[in-house]
């Protein structure tokens, strides 16, 4: 008879996951056998659960676990994105959807990819649409040069950036929706 090896499984422990950007609020739990296996894992959380604001249910946030101490995993925000169902609901016939994508550098030299979404109130000429895109890029570039990454995230989550951008762009053409569709740390 052949000898069989007995594989011993390591016992898995429960780890509490905390978000640094949200004053170490709990964002979930996970299982792992060792601390170093937890580092690098990602977790997606709905923003409405973190802020207790039902208006934010259309936004998800992705966290990446950076360090583990005392059975607690500390995660860092890496991605902010809107759900595709919300975007489909907002864009209606007879309106123009304007999207763009660009890379910005914050005051503390952190690279981020930003994808704004704007919806006009009516069908619009292409020259106005390109003017709106250019104004958006200029505004966001100036804003990122003045603010650090932490302040940028705070303003993004509190919807302050979107309000300022809408106020800035309404001089060019009236917009019904101005959102940041995606923000990703590079």
Name which of 6-10, 19-23, 55-59, 173-177 the model is least confident about. Answer: 6-10
Residue at which a domain ends, from 82, 113, 132: 82
Where does the pLDDT of residue 70 fall: very low under 50, low under 70, confident under 90, or very high at 90 and above? confident
Dist. CA 92–CA 88, nearest whole Å = 8
Same domain for 108 and 68: no
What are the DSSP calls for 21-79, one per residue?
A: GGTTEEEEEEEESSGGGTTT-EEEEEHHHHHT-GGGTTEEEEEEEEEEETTEEEEEEEE
Last residue of a domain, one of 34, 67, 82: 82
Residue 22: φ, ψ to 5°: -110, 45
Which domain-ending residue is among 60, 82, 104?
A: 82
Shared domain check, 144 and 113: yes
Q: How far apart are CA 13 and CA 17, in angstroms?
A: 13
Roughly how many angstroms between the first and final C-alpha of the chain, as a whole number?
56
CATH code for the domain of 164: 3.30.479.30
SS3 150: helix
Q: Give the gyration radius of the chain's Cα atoms.
A: 21
Q: Give domain status of residue 54, yes or no.
A: yes
Give this prediction's pTM.
Answer: 0.82
Domain that holds residue 17: 13-82
- Is there a contact between 68 and 13 (Cβ–Cβ < 8 Å)? no
The pairing of strands 72-82 and 175-185 is antiparallel
- pLDDT at position 178 is 93
Looking at residue 9, what is its pLDDT? 72
The answer, yes or no, to whether residue 120 has pLDDT greater than 60, is yes
Segment 75-115, tens digit of pLDDT: 888 999 999 999 999 998 889 999 999 999 999 999 999 99
Length of the chain: 186
Q: What is the pLDDT of residue 127?
A: 94
Average predicted confidence (pLDDT) for the chain: 89
The predicted-structure confidence for 40-51, as pLDDT tens digits, reads as follows 889 999 988 888
Residue 72 shares a structural domain with residue 23? yes
Q: Which pLDDT score, from 0 to 100, does residue 71 have?
A: 83
| Confidence at residue 4, expressed as pLDDT on a 0 to 100 scale | 67
């Amino acid at each position: 008879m052949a000898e069989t090896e007995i594989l011993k499984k390591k016992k898995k422990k429960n780890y509490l996951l905390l978000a640094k950007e949200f004053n170490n609020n709990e964002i979930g739990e996970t299982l792992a056998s060792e601390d170093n296996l937890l580092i690098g894992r990602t977790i997606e959380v709905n923003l409405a659960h973190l802020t207790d604001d039902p208006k934010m249910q259309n936004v998800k946030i992705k966290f990446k676990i950076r360090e583990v101490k005392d059975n607690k995993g500390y995660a860092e925000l890496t991605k902010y994105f809107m759900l595709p169902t919300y975007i489909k609901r907002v864009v209606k016939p007879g309106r123009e959807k304007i999207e763009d994508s660009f890379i910005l550098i914050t005051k503390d030299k952190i690279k981020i990819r930003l994808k704004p979404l704007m919806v006009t109130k009516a069908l619009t000429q292409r020259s106005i649409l390109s003017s709106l895109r250019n104004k958006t890029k200029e505004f966001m570039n100036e804003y990122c040069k003045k603010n650090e990454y932490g302040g940028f995230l705070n303003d993004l989550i509190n919807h302050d950036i979107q309000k300022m951008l809408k106020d800035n762009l309404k001089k060019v053409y009236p917009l019904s929706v101005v959102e940041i569709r995606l923000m990703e740390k590079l």
